A and B are shown apart, each in its own frame.
Chain A
């Protein structure tokens, strides 16, 4: 059972980090970023190219991934989402734009990086083995880094000026504007930060699970599930949703494995029942 719980905790840590960027963008701009998974993939490929192929230090590759995605996210916000939000009164327009960006990135990634699964050398070798537990050290490191990133993000949102501004934006965009918060600037910063988190987690996880051009869509779907469990636009909810999904997967795959692949069936049924009772998720109210 210890192994199952550790597996669940590890999955939860990486899922929470994946969901953070998605929920941040939703909170700030009311945009469902369907391209979040594709941004994760871009981040993975950047680390693959820099760390895996050029053999530069992993830290440099991870920083390059985060920076590139931040710039990409900023550009997407400034030239695409800002324009659409300004010109369209319908929320669906941004959803369609996000879907379009996702398809574009999918095609561009396939063209640029090819169809093959890619992987990089382990950042830490060795496996911890005890009577009831086996866990590779690189997973321990990734889980610790994921938690550190989550803590740093929460602290930044809580105690820095941009963090406070973004929280104000998430609470009430109009009120924040009336109070002198430059909403366009902080929307750009928020979108860039959300994309950066996607790049960071993509770059981090390429050391464990590798990356390929087709995983963007499934990653996005999983991120949406976590956000739905925790409550859209709520940072704490995304973290909670990530850990809950990770634990459900791990326990389900262990307990239900003899019955075939019904773990996700059970998760989806539970999710539907849960949402019918609590449509806003566990913490479904604006964060701030």
Chain B
């Protein structure tokens, strides 16, 4: 090869190197903010964590497309780091340790009680604020201070639902059925206490099922015989809700059916069809009556990215939004969770996902400190493939 022949590639290489050098300072101005997720994205409860992860990824991609988020004087690209704990507390601990090793200070999840309790020592030792979707009060009451509940707890939504149904639909008797796992059982116990406090006649409070049950007819046969006015599916997984509803209705149950967990309209439509009409559940910025244009845009982006929207994301969209907006309010909190905790108390920002409302932390009534995201408590009713709002309430 002659010197002349070599000249052209060398010139191209030199130009490319020069361009890299020129571009380098601009690239350095863009920082990356890693936000973690530790939760369940496989197995029967995969829908819970997957809706978390996909909500975070949709939001991060949206912000990154717009150039990132400005926190203080810097602009950050959001990088979502995920870990599937397979609903296993041991793996949840490993996941939280991984987040700590990566220098992450804000983690969404875990999705269940035992996982959320298991990661507490790691989070507190490593300076991580985490946002579980689990209800044990000891996670959010002092001396605990690193966990922030990401949704409305059943002991907050349950009494509101039962009271509404007692007053508006004449419910007098109530039966509970729950999966034989810590979350649904604790939710059932909370529900039973709330129902008794309201003076409702609790006709069944011991009936449970294995979470992997596929045919609920044998489970529900004895309960349906009791003819309660309201059947509560405590802490029911989205995969099981339509099967329970279908079995109850096919057995001739004519009362109301409700749950305090978020559900997906498409799943109900496919697996229970019109038998699910009248089913009452809890959602976030879910129904067209209250959601904003930004929420519609989020749903459109989510659907474009993942092919199908999950109604659970009406609640799951909030965690990342809260983290970033709180950091915007106090940029020092990026590396210092003590600052984050200080900011929580006075924090307020517009809620982009509903037509009116604000983002702020709550929890004084339930936990004695602000360790809960203020997500709209929307109680909704399913009918013909869609949810409509029954009523909207505030926690605290």
Contacts and interface: CB of A to CB of B under 8 A. Distances in A.
A102 to B, nearest CB: 12
B368 interface: no
Interface stretch (B123-131, B146-154, B193-201, B216-224): B216-224
A121 to B, nearest CB: 7
Contacts of A110: 42, 46
The binding surface of chain A is classed by DSSP as helix
A7 interface: yes
Interface in B346-372: none
A189 B208 CA distance: 42
Contacts of B240: 117
A134 B46 CA distance: 33
Contacts of A214: 42-46, 239
A115 B41 contact: yes
A136 B275 CA distance: 13
Interface size class of A (residues with CB under 8 A): 35 or more
Interface residues of B, number: 41
Nearest to A136: B250
A110 B50 CA distance: 11
A117 B218 contact: no
Contacts, number: 117
A242 B266 CA distance: 33
A257 B243 CA distance: 19
Contact of B252 (A114, A134, A210, A218): A134
Contact of A209 (B215, B218, B221): B215
A7 B47 contact: no
B270 A257 contact: no
Nearest to A114: B308
A261 B180 CA distance: 7
Contact of B218 (A116, A119, A215, A249): A249
Interface string B263-303: 01011001111000000000000000000000000000000
Given A134-B250, A219-B214, 7 more contacts: A8-B218, A106-B42, A115-B46, A209-B243, A257-B206, A258-B206, A260-B206
Interface of B: 41-47, 50, 180, 206-210, 212, 214-215, 217-219, 221-223, 238-240, 242-243, 250-252, 264, 266-267, 270-273, 307-308, 310
